[in-house]
Structure 1
């Protein structure tokens, strides 16, 4: 019996193509011969009574409607047992039933066993696979149908065009389009609409327009498809032209047409608000303004463009509010976090059941409003409504807990999601990076690859940023190779991150090469290059790149100006810095941020204009910002001005009483001025307040491993060799003028972490390779002198990244010009 046989194997494309027209597959040749043997039907022995064709058809249709294949299988079993020979119509009905009941294996088996097939059979096979989302099998069935010269109906061709749109198969879509023309089916609205959708989704909106123009039987769906295609392609002018033409052709606007255009108006293109208001007036005239689709699109448009008052007015006017409207309103109020939270509470009071989108939006609102406690309550509601395993909500929860530094909770949310897709993984990677856990981010990235997931541009960008923060060039190069192999190496996002990674890892030459080979540099790429040159002490080069950007027609942003001001500060270019600062405010109308103002304080302070710098702080909008006062205190130490330094330090300690850097800076000011008693008081004050200085940490990458060092560190496996090299280096630099004292036991007075890292690099990296060392604190004056001399006696380039900038030591000279 048929039901006792195993389901036939689903054939591959080659299997289908190799089967000759009308022939049976090998699996069918082995089948029982109760259907047909020559011209004679051979019934099995001891048969019962068969039913008639109409009765069998009604029973099968009943099974199709109920979606229960068991009843249909019983009907087919009865036909087999009683020796009934079904007609072609009955076979097609059975075939359709199996597909409707999601039994594609049995449907294919039945199709193979059918003694004859017609166009309905092939249409049922192709349409069935399409309805089940088995697009590959549907395409294979189409190819086989063509080899048997079957003329498919327009319904099947429409289904195939839908498959091409879903899978982005432009080539097959063109073949079907050609087939429609050749077979003379006729391109009416029924086939025009899927053709427009197919070409639009495959990125050929021009072909979609040609198809649209050639059709003489357009309906409202045709117009809407064309408008949606232009909207998704961000061709807003063309979209509006079609809308005007639709009105001229006296085609009545539907709610879906208005909804599509209003959704496009959310993109904030030129005159989008004017068009949005015109469409709002039109919707009122047509009576669509209170429609669910149009009303939701209107409040969504007004809220996203920034007209929150109009959005609220529409929301209040809409009758029969539903959860979609509430979601649109909550999303529109997202930038005003507290208002979103209040609307959510009102939504709860009115009995609306929040959806996945509602909860994910609410968590975003808690992130914006920095309301950690409310966010945890929303999380509790998410668990109560069984949405905690949703991948989109899981991704936002990971972002939420990462924002507050609670990585353990973020990891729990990550693990609880049913499907950990690339978005969820990226959220976890970014969360670790935001909390300074760069190594864990890279470990997660490796796990992501091991699970077979393909990272996107955003993921690659974030892990490259981690490599830059760690100063791990080798790891960054590996990720660059992976991005090139994956076909996203030329992406603007990836190229910008590569520039940042190489520059922050100390390899400004590679950063320049990436910048030069980029086909088209946007403002982000230019800004990255400007900031990179500035932090490497290349002041003149930074200004040159900035002027090139202006000449290229790129409008500079606040980051580009920050790079320019940093370069002027590090290079001592006071007049240029003041001029660019005024240009930024006047010509480009960019409001100075805390970072811009800090650069100006640093610029004036390092130039010795301490009182001007102090006046700049008091007259700015950031006079209570510790980082600005800290920049001034550093300048007081450089110029040994204890009077101003004491005043600044008192203000700084009052603003930031728990920060060790303020005390350390004041201690160094007093020490440099020879005021030992005052320096001792500062040290005692730190001890009384239990404030500990952050330990200096330096690290260097050798091979595939990063080695880190503390002051006087002896924990490294090669510690003995490192200290032997340190003594050897000091003997050499003493001969070229270095002067320092030793303690009674003969040990170096100042074995700072960067010196140990450099010595490890000297014994580990041969061939004159440059040494790239990273440090978490600002380099001290003694280490700066030592690095210059080591670069001279060892004939090695040393690149040292400290807390504020890069120092590039070559042949006894530093790129900072001893101005840091």
Structure 2
């Protein structure tokens, strides 16, 4: 049954109605309503009542229609009240007009009440109610009215069928659409263009383009809308060849291309560069010949097409050709300038100028405009301009938009302004998975890994389902924390949610296990993966390299090449790092030349740093210094820092002093340069010079970053500073450490002391390793993470502990992994 509503009382209003030139001051009675109108239409047949004059049906109809056209039901209600007071008996046509007025004025309850109490109905009544519900988006009610019409055996017209097909198209109800199609055939109405068009649209939107084409081919009286509907269906379905067939057939049939058809086809050309080169340019020529190239719709489609395939010259030509420009054109041009990997500062500046010109011409930027411009500020790294655009966003009251909020979070995260990023996050009304991923990634990028995991847990608690990119981001955070436990839990969620087959998630899992020191689990993930892309290969090569498994990294590289996957700059960075960490000097030089010669990859700063390290490992310190000067990266601190580390290894005071002085000029406030030079002097027995370096640090107020080490035991991460005694198990830790030190002294270890008198035996990594020894099962490896390079003494102690305790110890510092087994380290004592 139709939804039944209680009669709605019309409020007591006072109005002046001008009827045929006569002014009436007419108070509306409280009791006048739809049911009273229908009741009196059955019992009263008086031309006038009291002092009110009853009008004829034609006059009342015109007055109601006038209210319909205005979109305001107030005057229509006044007319209705006048009919009630005068006792006028409305005819069916007038009742249908009243019902239509209520529907057009968005008062379906009154329309339904009038419909239910009509003394008689005709097909117009049913059509009006169905059409009204459809236009108001009340599709369930529209379907129920159609069902009631069929039950009462009303012979519905083609207008009813057209309305119902529109309902099926908008709700995706294919089954009901097929039923209505069958009823059309059985009714013998005939498939003219009036019914063909909604049928084609319905089947297209329900994903059955084959049935849409059957209906299209069976129709004899095709019009412009028919062709447009069929072409639009193929465009939406991505069936470009079929779309072109219909387009050619349309041309042969003598039907002229309109702006809508050309716009749809040109939009389809944006999806493929080759498709654009063949058909896109041909249609461009056709639109010029027909004079449609300056049309707003066609011009915008042409502009968008050229911009999306990266043909900026033609895009700019079209943009300049169009005299009248709208927001969509500006958006397409701005997005085109910022699209692709070739975006440079000049293109970003042009996009910013377009944004300014857009406002000068009085156009109001849309949500897409603002989100694109903020992305431009991210690419251009312009904080002040980004803040100005953010101010425009607030001025236009768009700060709650989820797309703008997401890019604002990304923008402020880039500048490490996480408080501002969180304000933008909280201001967003609809916090979808995209903005959650942005805020998680922002914390991870700024080293706030624990906070990233907290936000991920909050995301899950809200019932949101993370996508593969969110999982990849949080796995990266777990990797940097060295938290295998949390990474394993995320892996379990990936398996449960079906994302474990995603190459992005698999690569992140490999990275997480490798970065957490579990290279064996990383290898297992790599072996069970269904498919590999260049990212998966590069992650595996780099992981093996940082774990000191140089030969394994090169073997993986050879497998990658044999699989037909071309290496990129990241892959070669992993290969060169493997050679550097593994002491494979000749192989490293050969791969460096192969990268340039065979793959045309220009060496970046990090590639050259690996070559410097290779020279340093071979003791060719002068060659390394010359290489830095000739590499084009002579102002890059990482190059000189690598050489300074080699000077420390080879105890070359002369070059070390020269390099340190240069490095200190480049980074006057970086403590690592001073510490390396201090160690060089100290190892060479030059105590006075070492003291001068320490005094220089004091005078310049440069403090060495405190060493911090952490280990994951159970569900907790335990952190330690040097000499730390804040841990609840501190007494046990120091007792066990003393016991272990006593054991390794028996096999030749001699402890040292700093000038301050603080023993190096209480360094943070030793405390963390000792906690692992007393807390983890004997078969479990002890994995410890450290924020600074491991010192020489701790490195020696770890080797000896691994021997006397028969335990595997994995220590990660900022440079690499040290894997200690049976008194030997994977780094070969070179780091």
Relative to the length of structure 2, the TM-score reads: 0.82
Query: In the TM superposition, what are the counterparts of 1:119-268 in structure 2 within 5 Å?
Result: 127-135=131-139, 218-232=222-236, 239-240=243-244, 243-244=247-248, 246-267=250-271
Distance 1:547 1:222, change over 3 A: farther
The CA deviation at 1:578 is 3.0
Residue deviations 1:531-584 (CA, integer Å, cap 9, x gap): 333333333332333333333333333222222222222222333333333333
The CA deviation at 1:234 is 5.3
Who is 1:622 aligned against? 633
Who is 1:292 aligned against? 296
CA–CA distance in 1 between the matches of 2:400 and 2:154? 47
8 Å Cα contact 2:7-2:35 kept in structure 1: no
The CA deviation at 1:803 is 0.8
Who is 2:692 aligned against? 681
Q: Which one of the candidate residues 424, 431, 446 is aligned to 2:457?
A: 446
Who is 2:619 aligned against? 608
- The alignment status of 1:568 with 2:593, answered yes or no, reads no
- The alignment status of 1:585 with 2:596, answered yes or no, reads yes
Q: Which one of the candidate residues 737, 755, 760 is aligned to 2:771?
A: 760
Q: Which one of the candidate residues 346, 359, 379 is aligned to 1:348?
A: 359
CA–CA distance in 2 between the matches of 1:516 and 1:216? 60
- The alignment status of 1:460 with 2:445, answered yes or no, reads no
8 Å Cα contact 2:8-2:110 kept in structure 1: no
CA–CA distance in 2 between the matches of 1:758 and 1:371? 45
Distance 1:745 1:681, change over 3 A: closer
Larger mean Cα displacement after TM superposition, 513-522 or 107-116:
107-116
CA–CA distance in 2 between the matches of 1:683 and 1:807? 28
CA–CA distance in 2 between the matches of 1:415 and 1:359? 18
Q: Which one of the candidate residues 686, 695, 700 is aligned to 2:711?
A: 700
Query: In the TM superposition, what are the counterparts of 1:648-727 in structure 2 within 5 Å?
Result: 648-727=659-738
Distance 1:376 1:5, change over 3 A: same
Larger mean Cα displacement after TM superposition, 475-484 or 396-405:
475-484
CA–CA distance in 2 between the matches of 1:67 and 1:575? 83
Larger mean Cα displacement after TM superposition, 264-273 or 583-592:
264-273
Residue 475 of structure 2 aligns to a residue whose secondary structure is helix
Residue deviations 1:419-438 (CA, integer Å, cap 9, x gap): 33333333322222222222
Distance 1:799 1:117, change over 3 A: farther
Distance 1:745 1:262, change over 3 A: closer
Distance 1:128 1:738, change over 3 A: farther
The CA deviation at 1:219 is 4.4
Distance 1:512 1:329, change over 3 A: same
The CA deviation at 1:805 is 2.3
- The alignment status of 1:365 with 2:376, answered yes or no, reads yes
How many positions carry a matched residue from both structures?
794
8 Å Cα contact 1:2-1:77 kept in structure 2: no
Who is 1:525 aligned against? 536
8 Å Cα contact 1:697-1:710 kept in structure 2: yes
8 Å Cα contact 2:73-2:102 kept in structure 1: yes
Distance 1:707 1:95, change over 3 A: farther
The CA deviation at 1:494 is 3.0
CA–CA distance in 2 between the matches of 1:260 and 1:302? 15
Who is 1:312 aligned against? 316
The CA deviation at 1:619 is 2.6
CA–CA distance in 2 between the matches of 1:636 and 1:237? 66
Distance 1:636 1:378, change over 3 A: same
The CA deviation at 1:692 is 1.7
Residue 273 of structure 2 aligns to a residue whose secondary structure is coil
CA–CA distance in 2 between the matches of 1:400 and 1:634? 36
Residue deviations 1:77-102 (CA, integer Å, cap 9, x gap): 88899999988777765655444333
The CA deviation at 1:287 is 0.7
Which of these two proteins has the greater Rg computed from alpha carbons? 2
Relative to the length of structure 1, the TM-score reads: 0.83
8 Å Cα contact 1:295-1:318 kept in structure 2: yes
8 Å Cα contact 1:799-1:809 kept in structure 2: yes
- The alignment status of 1:803 with 2:807, answered yes or no, reads no
Distance 1:117 1:560, change over 3 A: farther
CA–CA distance in 2 between the matches of 1:136 and 1:489? 39
Larger mean Cα displacement after TM superposition, 693-702 or 346-355:
346-355
Who is 1:332 aligned against? 336
CA–CA distance in 2 between the matches of 1:226 and 1:607? 71
CA–CA distance in 2 between the matches of 1:515 and 1:211? 51
Distance 1:741 1:572, change over 3 A: closer
Gaps of 5+ in 2: 11-33
Larger mean Cα displacement after TM superposition, 115-124 or 273-282:
115-124
CA–CA distance in 1 between the matches of 2:214 and 2:705? 68
8 Å Cα contact 1:527-1:560 kept in structure 2: yes
8 Å Cα contact 2:36-2:84 kept in structure 1: no
8 Å Cα contact 2:649-2:830 kept in structure 1: no
Distance 1:303 1:2, change over 3 A: closer
Larger mean Cα displacement after TM superposition, 733-742 or 330-339:
733-742
Residue deviations 1:108-163 (CA, integer Å, cap 9, x gap): 66667778877766655554444334456656777787888887766566566656
8 Å Cα contact 1:126-1:141 kept in structure 2: yes
8 Å Cα contact 1:273-1:305 kept in structure 2: no
Who is 1:473 aligned against? 484
The CA deviation at 1:410 is 2.1
Who is 1:11 aligned against? none
Gaps of 5+ in 1: 7-30
Distance 1:465 1:4, change over 3 A: same
Residue deviations 1:150-185 (CA, integer Å, cap 9, x gap): 877665665666566656666666666677667776
CA–CA distance in 1 between the matches of 2:100 and 2:552? 72
Distance 1:212 1:495, change over 3 A: farther
CA–CA distance in 2 between the matches of 1:514 and 1:643? 47
CA–CA distance in 2 between the matches of 1:112 and 1:517? 66
Residue deviations 1:212-266 (CA, integer Å, cap 9, x gap): 5666555444544555555555555665555455445544322233333433444
Larger mean Cα displacement after TM superposition, 480-489 or 432-441:
480-489
Residue deviations 1:477-502 (CA, integer Å, cap 9, x gap): 33344444445443343333333333
Larger mean Cα displacement after TM superposition, 616-625 or 57-66:
57-66
Residue deviations 1:657-699 (CA, integer Å, cap 9, x gap): 2222222222223333333333222222222222222222222
